[in-house]
Amino acid sequence: MAGLGCAGILALLVIAAVATGGGGDDSSDTSAKDKAVAADDKPGQDSPKKAGPNDDKPQAEQFRSCVAKNGTDTEQAAVEHVTKVTGTDKRNDILDAAEVFTDFSGGLMGPHQGEGKLIASAFTSCYESKNGLVTVYDKDGELLANANY
């Protein structure tokens, strides 16, 4: 009976090998199956950014400048604690994920959760995406807040 089990496994492997290797390498295939992976040099250029033409500034400085111009007093006070911003320069409107790092502590249940929400709200006022998510972290990398933008 053990021999029959091994023969069954061997037959299954042969069938799997034929099924996966049977596709062939037809170089005349003109289908567009690989073209969806290719991206242009500057993705997301047709999605507007409200922050303005300050692309030579670091992303955190661009964000602070936008909030200084357009944000409320409480948003401006919260954004003073931003230490780093990533992900605002690469947008494709498919899955845009920006991260904002702060010098706050305590995480989601800590005393600075409200400021984290203010920072996330200010971010949504400065940047646009069809499917973006901004995540605000404290100084230890713990989640403070997040929001769609």
pLDDT tens digits, one per residue of 66-103? 999 999 999 999 999 999 999 998 888 889 999 999 99
Rounded to an integer, the average pLDDT of 35-61 is 54
Cβ atoms of residues 63 and 75 within 8 Å: no
Weakest-pLDDT range from 4-8, 40-44, 100-104: 40-44
User: Which helix H or strand E contains 4, and what residues bound it?
Assistant: helix 2-21
Task: Show the tokens assigned to 88.
Answer: 């605002």
Where residue 8 falls among pLDDT bands split at 50, 70, 90?
low
Q: What is the b/e burial string over 2-17, where b = at least 16 CB atoms within 10 angstroms of the residue's CB?
A: eeeeeeeeeeeeeeee
Question: What whole-number percentage of the chain has pLDDT above 90?
Answer: 56
C-alpha to C-alpha distance for 82 and 103, rounded to whole angstroms:
7
- Angle separating helix axes 59-70 and 113-126, nearest 10 degrees: 90
Q: What is the pLDDT of residue 16?
A: 57
Q: Give the residue from 84, 133, 142, 134 showing the smallest Cα distance to 113.
A: 142
**Alpha carbon of 19 to those of 10, 13, 23, 28, 131: distances in Å?**
14, 10, 8, 21, 38
Q: What is the pLDDT of residue 94?
A: 86
Rounded to an integer, the average pLDDT of 46-71 is 76
Predicted TM-score of the model (pTM) = 0.63
Q: Domains of the chain: which residue ranges?
A: 59-148
Residue 137 has pLDDT above 90, yes or no: yes
Cβ atoms of residues 144 and 136 within 8 Å: yes
Q: What is the pLDDT of residue 57?
A: 86
